[in-house]
Amino acid sequence: MRLFIAARSRFAEDALDAAVAAGVRQLVVLGAGLDTFAYRNPHSAMGLTVFEVDHPSTQAWKRERLAAAGIDPPPSLTFVPVDFAQRTLTDGLRAAGFDPHRPSFFSWLGVVPYLTRENVFATLRSVAELPGGAEIVFDYGDPPSALPPDERAAHDVRAARVAALGEPWLTYFDADQLAADLRDTGFTTVEDLGRSALAARYFGAPANTPRQPGAHVVRAVSSTRQR
């Protein structure tokens, strides 16, 4: 789990580096939680602005924690409080000064499992329809039924724990179906790395390691984005 969390951030930030090199200057961190990118933004001198979108209560708590730690939000950062279940992403972003006509990059890590499938695709549609073009990176899990018995048991314990905290996991995807649905939603390039591919790319595992079910990270580029 810890390696996956490190790998998904590396994957997202590598894709962001390439997007910035191609001219993107707007990053939206969706469901930012305690994400630290905005406070170590290596592209701020290039003019990369960061929009941290999060549930209003989580964002208010983060801002209290930042203040308590003496960390000033940088001028390149804008906070955007949005509950994905209540308000559309695009409305919230526009109100915060995001320009939908300029290209953008969305990082959406550790959030999709907590949303309904309907809310996930409502957000993906909003991103795919941006006239300036957009790229998004997010992560998800294979359905628990695809896991071997020991991993299924470990998954069920973690799922019960997050549900008891009031934040149940609601959504899983099958990789092939998700890729088809992303294309139907308006994304062209779809890159999906599962556990074995991540282990090969970042942790020195052999490239021919058999595919294993578990967590995935996906990069999708909208058809409106020119690269």
Residue nearest ligand SAM, CB atom distance? 33
Per CB under 6 A, does 138 bind ligand SAM? no
Residue carrying the six token digits 């018995």: 149
Beta strand pairing call for 187-193 and 215-222: antiparallel
Per CB under 6 A, does 84 bind ligand SAM? yes
**Near ligand SAM in 97-126, by CB under 6 A:** 109-111, 114
Count CA atoms closer than 13 A to 123's CA, side-chain side. Answer: 29
CB of 206 to ligand SAM, least distance (A): 28
Joined tokens for residue 188: 């062209």
Separation CA 210–CA 18 (nearest Å): 28
Among positions 35, 52, 135, 142, the unique one binding ligand SAM when judged by CB under 6 A:
35
Q: Which is nearer to ligand SAM, 90 or 223 (CB)?
A: 90
Range in contact with ligand SAM (rule: CB under 6 A) among 10-18, 82-90, 169-177, 193-201? 82-90
Q: Which of 216, 215, 217, 219 is nearest to 190 (CA)?
A: 219
Q: Residue 64, exposed/middle/buried by CB under 10 A (0-12, 13-18, 19+)? A: exposed
Among positions 10, 25, 33, 212, the unique one binding ligand SAM when judged by CB under 6 A:
33
Which residues of this chain interact with ligand SAM, rule CB under 6 A?
31-33, 35, 54-55, 58, 82-85, 109-111, 114
